[in-house]
């Protein structure tokens, strides 16, 4: 066998393996779409795999006419945007002063922040704090506890430090204040890294679940994940009761659950391809130590 054919065989095997792995990542979504579009009879008899059986849009009509689902989606979008803005504001406010080496107390503030990366009070004291601040069942319980991620903060400090000092110095000589320098010079030079951090915060809030489970029990302000969870739990109960031979006709339609899952996934899939490069660069930034 010549080197060329063995090379070719290697390529074919390699591309096949990668393609299989890509399929492995995608098939669950394809299956969920198929289930969401199938009739209940076909789903429960296990006929649906990758294509809809007895095509049926009923589940989506139901999801989109479910007022509480749309409210939850709207609330989660607003919550995510607001959280991301506040997080960025606070992270920038912390990062910029901490790049100034001659600022008195800088080291102390750095230690104060870094310590929290390695030790935390735990969820019970956190819960009690939120309770004492009367934030249970308010959006503040979902926004304030995670306002600054020390990890993101260190990424931003590292980035700010790498901006050539001459750019800032020239502004300072011109008598520009720190605030002015930050807004006019530093921030415009940091747009890509800020996009990355904003995305980290946004995804974290969008997917966040535990805090909502702990702090929110007013259905009016259920974030999407918490609302979805109740259906998942419902699914789980279904699975357990089936074991005991319960009557399956009485169950929530599987198609509806699948449609809800797709409904909650689509927003992520819509924005993700456009923002992918910022996510990837974020991982690299995180790998470079500050």
Partner 1 sequence: MTLTKATQVTKTGDFGKRKSYIKRYWQLYALLSLPIAYFLIFRYGPMYGVQIAFKDFNLFQGINGSEWIGLEAFREVFAMNDFYITLRNTFMLNFLDLLVSFPAPIILAIMLYEIRNAWFKKISQTLLYIPHFISWVIIGGIVYQLFGTQSGMVNAVLQALGMDAIPFLTDKNSWLITYLFTGVWQSAGWGTILYLAALTGVNKELFEAADVDGASRMKKIWHITLPSIKPTIITLLILNLGKMVSIGFDRPYIIGNTAVREYSDVLSTFVYRIGLEAGQYTLATVVGLFQAVVGLVFILGSNYISKKVTGDGIL
Considering the rule CB under 8 A, would residue 174 count as an interface residue with partner 1?
Answer: no
Q: In the complex, what is the shortest distance from the CB of residue 201 to partner 1, in angstroms, rounded to a whole number?
A: 14
Q: In the complex, what is the shortest distance from the CB of residue 253 to partner 1, in angstroms, rounded to a whole number?
A: 12
Q: Give the Cβ contact number of residue 193 at 10 Å.
A: 20
Q: In the complex, what is the shortest distance from the CB of residue 276 to partner 1, in angstroms, rounded to a whole number?
A: 6
Instruction: Output the six-digit token pair for 176.
Output: 């520009």
Considering the rule CB under 8 A, would residue 98 count as an interface residue with partner 1?
Answer: yes
> H helices then E strands: how many in the chain?
15, 0
Map the footprint of partner 1 across residues 36-95, applying CB under 8 A. Answer: 43-49, 89-91, 93-94
* Dist. CA 226–CA 268, nearest whole Å: 17
- Among 12, 19, 54, 81, the residue binding partner 1 under the rule CB under 8 A is 19
Map the footprint of partner 1 across residues 121-150, applying CB under 8 A. Answer: 121-129, 132, 144-145, 147-148
Q: By CB neighbour count within 10 A (0-12 exposed, 13-18 middle, 19+ buried), where does 7 fall?
A: exposed
Considering the rule CB under 8 A, would residue 243 count as an interface residue with partner 1?
Answer: yes
Map the footprint of partner 1 across residues 180-219, applying CB under 8 A. Answer: 182, 203, 206-207, 209-210, 214
- Among 4, 25, 164, 175, the residue binding partner 1 under the rule CB under 8 A is 25
Considering the rule CB under 8 A, would residue 252 count as an interface residue with partner 1?
Answer: no
Considering the rule CB under 8 A, would residue 246 count as an interface residue with partner 1?
Answer: no
Question: What are the φ/ψ torsions at residue 64 (nearest 5 degrees)?
Answer: -75, -15
CB 182 within 8 A of CB 96: yes
- Tokens 């591309």 locate to 15
Q: In the complex, what is the shortest distance from the CB of residue 177 to partner 1, in angstroms, rounded to a whole number?
A: 6
Exposure pattern of 266-283 as b/e (b: 16+ CB <10 Å)? eeeeeeeeeeeebeeebe
CB 56 within 8 A of CB 254: no
Which span sits near partner 1 by CB under 8 A: 13-21, 57-65, 70-78, 185-193?
13-21
* Dist. CA 213–CA 210, nearest whole Å: 5
Residue (of 95, 149, 94) closest to 120 by Cα position = 149
Q: In the complex, what is the shortest distance from the CB of residue 115 to partner 1, in angstroms, rounded to a whole number?
A: 9
Q: In the complex, what is the shortest distance from the CB of residue 8 to partner 1, in angstroms, rounded to a whole number?
A: 10
Indicate the residue among 58 and 279 with the shorter CB distance to partner 1.
Answer: 279
Indicate the residue among 170 and 207 with the shorter CB distance to partner 1.
Answer: 207
Considering the rule CB under 8 A, would residue 239 count as an interface residue with partner 1?
Answer: yes
Considering the rule CB under 8 A, would residue 165 count as an interface residue with partner 1?
Answer: no
Considering the rule CB under 8 A, would residue 118 count as an interface residue with partner 1?
Answer: yes
Exposure pattern of 38-61 as b/e (b: 16+ CB <10 Å)? bbbebbbeeebeeebbeebeebbe
Q: Give the Cβ contact number of residue 196 at 10 Å.
A: 25
Q: In the complex, what is the shortest distance from the CB of residue 166 to partner 1, in angstroms, rounded to a whole number?
A: 19
- Tokens 């590292």 locate to 158
């Amino acid at each position: 066998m010549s080197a060329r054919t063995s090379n070719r065989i290697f390529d074919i095997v390699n591309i096949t393996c990668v393609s299989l792995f890509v399929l492995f990542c995608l098939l669950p979504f394809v299956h969920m779409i198929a289930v969401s579009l199938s009739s209940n009879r076909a789903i429960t008899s296990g006929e649906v795999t990758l294509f809809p059986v007895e095509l049926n849009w009923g589940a989506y009509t139901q999801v989109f006419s479910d007022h509480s689902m749309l409210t939850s989606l709207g609330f989660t979008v607003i919550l995510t945007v607001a959280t991301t803005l506040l997080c960025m504001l606070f992270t920038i406010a912390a990062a910029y002063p901490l790049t100034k080496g001659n600022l008195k107390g800088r080291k102390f503030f750095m230690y104060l922040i870094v310590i929290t990366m390695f030790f935390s009070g735990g969820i019970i004291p956190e819960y009690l704090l939120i309770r004492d601040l009367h934030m249970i069942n308010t959006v503040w319980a979902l926004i304030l506890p995670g306002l600054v991620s020390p990890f993101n903060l260190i990424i931003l400090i590292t980035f700010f430090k790498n901006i050539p000092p001459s750019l800032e110095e020239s502004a300072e000589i011109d008598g520009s204040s720190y605030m002015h320098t930050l807004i006019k010079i530093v921030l415009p030079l940091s747009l890509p890294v800020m996009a990355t951090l904003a995305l980290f915060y946004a995804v974290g809030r969008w997917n966040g679940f535990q805090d909502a489970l702990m702090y929110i029990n007013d259905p009016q302000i259920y974030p999407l994940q918490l609302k979805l969870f109740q259906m998942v739990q419902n699914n789980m109960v279904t699975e357990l009761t089936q074991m005991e031979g319960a009557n399956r006709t009485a169950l929530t339609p599987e198609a509806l659950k699948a449609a809800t899952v797709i409904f909650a996934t689509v927003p992520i899939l819509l924005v993700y391809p456009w923002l992918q490069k910022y996510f990837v660069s974020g991982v690299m930034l995180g790998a470079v130590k500050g």
